């Protein structure tokens, strides 16, 4: 287990120590539960009171808070990002164990780096390319001609259809399906005809994709996921969607076909973007909000029925269905009142 | 690569050529990006202006638009469906490569057509039946006594529980789970008892099922999916649901247990149908709409909080929670005004 | 096939027979479709009329209803729970067939009970523990040091990451992913940094988890699922969530990170609980409701835009976006009216 003094941490990651710089820690922890060998962090001022009671060996915090901590501190401008780096220091990803498990199924013509690790029951199709130091977990399936960039890590059970591209340093969690057919159907005489989906999925570098997320291949051109995009679990990305660099989406977001999402956007849990819309850079969409029109300006957008106790909701919901009548009655009242004011005047 | 003149395409698929019928194309494309060997289509009048700038070798379009195109055209009544057929012509599905991969696990008593293709790590249970020219991708798992109809195609990682039936010409994408237990639990003295789920899933012909969709088996009787039904990704179908023929559902739709959906319905992304409801034929449900009562008449139904910038939403949402008070104040105003009108009159 | 007389059923499960106790049944059925060898149940008074027409050999029902049934009855206080037990009697789970399939991949140091059944292409990591009489379906993947309690049953294709704990008698359906990384990212200079997710998932006894559900591991401490929790399909549980004992969640529920859900709660389909909230015991959340604040009191909570035909919805939705102006006009009217009343008075 790695062991670092606060002095050695700031030498590596910057910031400054307030208190005993020789204190050593071996792991990260939370303010509530960390012990003397753990380093915690304070990022949200709401939890400031925990500084008084924490047993953490050290705390990462922003300027101005150091006086409130009995433990030695590392003071820095962005405590949560700093904490991420400290945690990466103590918890580096396991390196690949190069080699192809004898229970894997590699098609002739697949190009697999000798530094890559291929798990049992994994399948790599003809002419697929697996980069340096990649890890393909058990049961992963990589289609023909698909490429996976260097240092990418696919957890067990990831399926990538043929002809897709995944960039370098990807982290793809179990159950993810990349490159399945988009939902392209045309109605003819009461029956649906399938529109062949001949585009690809092209994913940039440094992308993480959460468990059971699905990203469909393009209908004609490609579905594009930019560099540094972070997708949580159970997200659905339709065909021909484009997602700009460094956009993050929380769990259960869905993006319908041909929507273009800008870069540096954040979509909260359960948000839904309808098809063919454009979302500008730096847009934030609140949880469970349905985007029904293009959003051309950065900003935060919300559409969400407020929760209430059931009885209160029920009363309001009924009235909502009669809102236009309420508005009509209001117009009438205004007219009657004006008439009377005129008379009285 | 296939190569067809416009003359040969209309000979196969109908319609008529406007312009040079000897022009040859080898693939489909979009109006924006197609080159001289590609054939594009115009279906939505909103994109008509693209006809003036497209470099496509040919365009499929409806009557009346041919004059706007510099490229030769195929004129037909339903350009999108026609385009689907043209694309099918250029992009036929890969035929199966008959045979059972040595890394597949076939139980004694399974009946697998000699024309079927079974991938590595696929598992076929006892007394299961796999029809003519089927493809089972890597890692697919077909339960005991389950049958898969002729010409069906299961992409890698599809799981079908025992005793289910999938019709002919199915396309089932990766991560789909068919026949898992429905959510049947009974409360007794503060604990949930499991209600065994002994029904099956029975799926008609020509059904397509998107990635990571789940269809539960019936509690007592069967869950039924009609012919020609098209399901997008991450759809959830509860136990004992019935879906009528040629109904289509977009991504992330959920149908709770025992709901009956008519035929030729379209449910947009994220729609939710509550349990035990009946939906008539030809109903359209808008995106993210929750159906809380049976819909007995064809038509379009919607229930969706409109999106707004967050500040505006916030103001309106607060008022919505006090809508009944607003209505009460309205009633009072009306009474006071009537009283005054009487006095004045 | 098991065959039981009503007399033998009440001897095993309690209740009392009304009518011929020697009638024998071999399976459960529904009131509409059961035949003379099947036993049906009446739990919802709405279906009482079906008693008059059922062909079921026997019916389980509550006190007071026996007179309405021509078939012999078992009368008991909780007919649905009783029916669950009768169905369990006729449909016991298949016992495991002990042994490790030769196509499974077991790492050295894995501890697998000799009474457990391990399917083809299943993978068990080093130092993992598989309890007595467990069944691991085909292609399941159990990470290093993960433990699965006695009598647990994992259907094909379940993935459990390293270092997780699953209790006894679990039922885990296909496509479930347990222990993937939570969505922990920190923004630094326009890029997302990954926060290593070093907590575990710890699941109590008697938990059932539906197909394609995902439960993320904790960021620092553990994600905790209590005893007797029942999760339907496609549920997403974020990192560090805690779910109290005997809580049930219907399909497509999502719980964002660090939310704490009480015990004996029921969350209906598509409900969404935002992060860091606390939900009291015995709370019911209605379908598709978004919980945006902690709920400190037991009760039923709802927030849901009521469905309407599209034209009516459209009119009301526009007004909803102008609700604050409507309220403003109301205030004005009140003032004008008061002024006039004063004048007139």
**Through-space distance between the first and last CA atoms of chain A, rounded to whole angstroms:** 88
Give the burial class of B95: count Cβ atoms within 10 A of its Cβ; 0-12 exposed, 13-18 middle, 19 or more buried: exposed
Q: Establish if A251 touches chain C: CB-CB under 8 angstroms.
A: yes
Residue pLDDT, tens place only, A20-38: 999 999 999 999 999 999 9
Residue C298 has pLDDT above 90, yes or no: yes
Q: Which of B191, B308, B336 sits opposite C341 (nearest CB)?
A: B336
Tokens of C270: 């598509």
Closest CA to A63 of A76, A52, A50, A78: A76
Residue of C nearest to A43 (CA): C186
Tokens of A339: 């008439």
Residue pLDDT, tens place only, A108-155: 999 999 999 999 999 999 999 999 999 999 999 999 999 999 999 999
Residue of A nearest to B122 (CA): A121
Q: How confident is the model at residue A336, as a pLDDT?
A: 87
Closest CA to C84 of B203, A241, B184: B184
Residue C139 has pLDDT above 90, yes or no: yes
Distance (Å) from the C-alpha of residue A168 to the closest C-alpha of chain C? 15
Residue of B nearest to C323 (CA): B316
pLDDT band at C345 (very low <50, low <70, confident <90, very high): low
pLDDT band at C86 (very low <50, low <70, confident <90, very high): very high
Residue pLDDT, tens place only, B122-136: 999 999 999 999 999
Q: Establish if A161 touches chain C: CB-CB under 8 angstroms.
A: no
Separation between Cα atoms, residue C259 and residue B44, nearest integer Å: 45
Q: What is the mean pLDDT of residues B62-75?
A: 94
ipTM for this prediction:
0.97
Q: Establish if A37 touches chain C: CB-CB under 8 angstroms.
A: no
A177 neighbourhood in chain B, CB within 8 Å: 157, 173-175, 211-212, 233
Residue B146 has pLDDT above 80, yes or no: yes
Residue C342 has pLDDT above 90, yes or no: no
Closest CA to A296 of A282, A275, A310: A282
B139 neighbourhood in chain A, CB within 8 Å: 121, 123, 139, 141
Token match 């117009």: residue?
A: A331
Rg (CA), chain B: 27
Residue pLDDT, tens place only, B88-144: 999 999 999 999 999 999 999 999 999 999 999 999 999 999 999 999 999 999 999
Q: Which of B38, B81, B243 to mutate to test the interface with A (most CBs of A within 10 A)?
A: B81
pLDDT band at B330 (very low <50, low <70, confident <90, very high): confident
Q: Which of A36-40, B157-161, C336-340 is predicted least confidently?
A: C336-340
Q: What is the mean pLDDT of residues B301-310?
A: 96
Q: Which of A310, A330, A336, A337 to mutate to test the interface with C (most CBs of C within 10 A)?
A: A310
Q: Establish if B256 touches chain C: CB-CB under 8 angstroms.
A: yes
Q: Which of A141, A221, A312 sits opposite B138 (nearest CB)?
A: A141
Residue of B nearest to A213 (CA): B212
Q: How confident is the model at residue A345, as a pLDDT?
A: 62
Separation between Cα atoms, residue C116 and residue B144, nearest integer Å: 20
Contact in structure between C62 and C50 (CB atoms under 8 Å): no
Distance (Å) from the C-alpha of residue B228 to the closest C-alpha of chain A? 7
Closest CA to C29 of C37, C38, C20, C17: C38
Q: Kindly name the residue from C173, C239, C246, C260 that is annotated as catalytic.
A: C239
Contact in structure between B114 and B96 (CB atoms under 8 Å): no
CA B110 to chain centroid: 31
Contact call for A307 and C303, based on CB within 8 A: yes
Separation between Cα atoms, residue B275 and residue A5, nearest integer Å: 59
Q: Establish if A80 touches chain B: CB-CB under 8 angstroms.
A: no
Q: How confident is the model at residue A50, as a pLDDT?
A: 95
Contact call for C198 and A173, based on CB within 8 A: no
Half-sphere exposure of B269 toward its Cβ, with a 13 Å CA cutoff? 24
Q: What rounded mean pLDDT belongs to chain C?
A: 96
Q: What rounded mean pLDDT belongs to chain B?
A: 96
Report the sign of the C-alpha dihedral through residues B277, B281, B283, B284, in that order: positive
Contact call for C234 and B238, based on CB within 8 A: no
Contact in structure between A140 and A119 (CB atoms under 8 Å): yes
Q: How confident is the model at residue B345, as a pLDDT?
A: 62
Beta partners for B308?
A302
Report residues of chain A scoring pLDDT below 50: none
Q: How confident is the model at residue B326, as a pLDDT?
A: 87
Tokens of C84: 């669950």
Q: How confident is the model at residue C336, as a pLDDT?
A: 87
Residue C330 has pLDDT above 90, yes or no: no
Q: Establish if C232 touches chain B: CB-CB under 8 angstroms.
A: yes
Mark which residues 43-72 of C lie under 8 Å from B by CB. none
Mark which residues 122-141 of C lie under 8 Å from B by CB. 137-139
Q: Which of B325-334, C45-54, C173-182 is predicted least confidently?
A: B325-334
The long-range contacts involving C238-244, CB below 8 angstroms and separated by at least 24 positions, are C238/A251, C238/C182, C238/C183, C238/C275, C239/C181, C239/C182, C239/C183, C239/C184, C239/C197, C239/C199, C240/C182, C240/C199, C241/C215, C241/C216, C244/C281
Q: How confident is the model at residue C165, as a pLDDT?
A: 98
Residue C76 has pLDDT above 80, yes or no: yes
Closest CA to A71 of A43, A85, A90, A52: A52
């Amino acid at each position: 287990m790695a062991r670092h003094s606060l002095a050695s941490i700031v030498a590596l990651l910057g910031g400054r120590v307030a208190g005993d710089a020789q204190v050593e820690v071996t792991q990260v922890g939370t303010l509530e539960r960390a012990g003397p060998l753990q380093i915690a962090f304070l990022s949200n001022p709401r939890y400031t009171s925990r500084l008084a009671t924490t047993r953490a060996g050290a705390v990462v915090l922003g300027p101005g808070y150091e006086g409130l901590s009995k433990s030695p501190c590392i003071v820095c401008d962005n405590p949560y990002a700093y904490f991420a780096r400290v945690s990466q220091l103590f918890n580096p990803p396991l390196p690949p164990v190069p080699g192809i498990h004898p229970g894997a199924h590699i098609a002739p013509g697949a190009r697999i780096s000798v530094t890559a690790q291929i798990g049992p029951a994994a399948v790599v199709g003809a002419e697929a390319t697996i980069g340096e130091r990649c890890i393909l977990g058990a049961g992963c399936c990589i289609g023909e001609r698909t490429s996976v960039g260097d240092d990418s890590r696919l957890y067990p059970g990831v399926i990538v259809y043929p002809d897709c591209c995944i960039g370098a340093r990807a982290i793809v969690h179990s159950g993810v399906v990349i490159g399945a057919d988009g939902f392209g159907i045309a109605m003819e005489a009461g029956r649906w005809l399938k529109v062949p989906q001949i585009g690809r999925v092209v994913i940039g570098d440094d992308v993480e994709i959460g468990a059971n997320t699905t990203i469909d291949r393009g209908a004609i051109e490609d579905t594009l996921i930019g560099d540094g995009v972070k997708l949580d679990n159970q997200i659905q990305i339709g065909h021909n969607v484009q997602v700009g660099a460094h956009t993050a989406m929380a769990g259960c977001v869905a993006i319908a076909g041909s929507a273009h999402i800008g870069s540096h956007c954040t979509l909260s849990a359960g948000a839904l973007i309808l098809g063919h819309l454009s979302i500008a850079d730096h847009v934030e969409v609140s949880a469970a909000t349905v985007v029904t029109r293009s959003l051309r300006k950065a900003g935060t957008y919300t559409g969400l029925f407020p929760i209430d106790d059931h009885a209160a909701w029920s009363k309001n919901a009924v009235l909502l269905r009669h809102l236009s009548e309420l508005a009509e009655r209001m117009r009438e009242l205004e007219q009657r009142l004006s008439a009377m004011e005129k008379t009285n005047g």
